[in-house]
Amino acid sequence: MAERIAQYQADRGALERLWSFPLAEARGARFERLHRDWLAALDAVDFEGLARPEQIDWLLLRNQVEHELRELEAERDRDAAAAPLVPFSAPLVALLEARVRREEADPRAAAAVLDQAAEAVGTARAALKADPPALSGPLANRAAERVEGLRRGLSSWFRYGAGYQPEFSWWCQAPWTALEQALRDYAGFLRKDLGGLDPDDPDQLVGDPIGRQALLAELAFERIAYSPEELIAIAEREMAWCQEQRRAAAAELGFGDDWRAAQEHVKTLHAEPGGQPRTIRMLAEEAVAFLEERELLTIPALAKEVWRMEMMSAERQKLNPYFTGGEVISISYPTDEMAHDDKLTSMRGNNLHYSRATVHHELIPGHHLQGFMSERWNPQRRPFGSPFYLEGWALYWELKLWDMGFAQGPEDRLGLLFWRSHRCARILFSLNFHLGNWSPEKCVDFLVENVGHERRNATAEVRRSIQGGYGPLYQCAYLLGGLQLRALHRELVRDGQWTDKDFHDAVLRQNSMPIEFLRAALGSQPLSRDFPVSWRF
Mean pLDDT score of the chain = 94
- For the chain, state the CA radius of gyration: 26
Backbone region of residue 122 per phi and psi (left: phi > 0; alpha: psi in -120 to 50; beta: other values): alpha
Structural contact between residues 466 and 261, judged by C-beta atoms closer than 8 angstroms: no
Dump the DSSP string for 34-81. HHHHHHHHHHTS-GGGS-HHHHHHHHHHHHHHHHHHHHHHHHHHHHHH
Q: What pLDDT does residue 307 have?
A: 96
pLDDT tens track for 244-297: 999 999 999 999 999 999 999 999 999 888 888 999 999 999 999 999 999 999
- Please give the pLDDT value at position 274: 83
Closest CA to 87 of 30, 132, 146, 141: 146
CA distance 120 to 133: 18
Mean pLDDT of 151-166: 94
- Could you read off the pLDDT of 174-194 as tens digits, one per residue? 999 999 999 999 999 999 999
Q: What is the arithmetic mean of pLDDT over 13-31? A: 97
pLDDT above 70 for 38: yes
Give the residue among 479, 461, 532 at the shortest CA–CA distance from 231: 479
At residue 71, the pLDDT reads 94
What gap in Å lies between CA 123 and CA 8, rounded to an integer? 43
User: Tens digit of pLDDT for each residue in 308-344?
Assistant: 999 888 888 776 777 788 899 988 888 888 888 888 8
Other Cβ atoms less than 10 A from the Cβ of 455: the count is 12
Give the confidence band of 59 by pLDDT, cuts at 50, 70, 90: very high
pLDDT at 340: 87
Per-residue pLDDT, 319? 67
- Cα 29 from Cα 21, distance rounded (Å): 14
Judge residue 500's burial from the number of C-beta atoms within 10 Å of its C-beta, 0-12 exposed, 13-18 middle, 19 or more buried: middle
* Terminal C-alpha separation, the chain: 29
Measuring CA to CA, which residue among 191, 114, 119 is closest to residue 150? 114
**Cα separation of 321 and 454, whole Å?**
10
pLDDT, position 202? 66
* Euclidean distance between CA atoms 265 and 373, whole angstroms: 38
At 470-522, the pLDDT tens digits run 899 999 999 999 999 999 999 999 988 999 999 999 999 999 999 999 999 99
At residue 467, the pLDDT reads 79
Residue (of 486, 465, 514) closest to 394 by Cα position: 486
pLDDT for residue 308:
94
Q: Tens digits of per-residue pLDDT, 416-432?
A: 999 999 999 999 999 99
Identify whether the C-beta of residue 146 lies closer than 8 Å to the C-beta of residue 23: yes
More confident residue, 160 or 349: 160
Range with the lowest mean pLDDT among 234-243, 336-345, 361-370, 484-493? 336-345
* pTM: predicted TM-score of the whole model, two decimal places: 0.90
Tell me the pLDDT band of 2, cut-offs 50, 70 and 90: very high
- In the predicted structure, residue 33 carries a pLDDT above the cut 90: yes
Model confidence over 384-404: pLDDT tens digits?
A: 999 999 999 999 999 999 999
Q: pLDDT tens across 93-112, in order?
A: 999 999 999 999 999 999 99
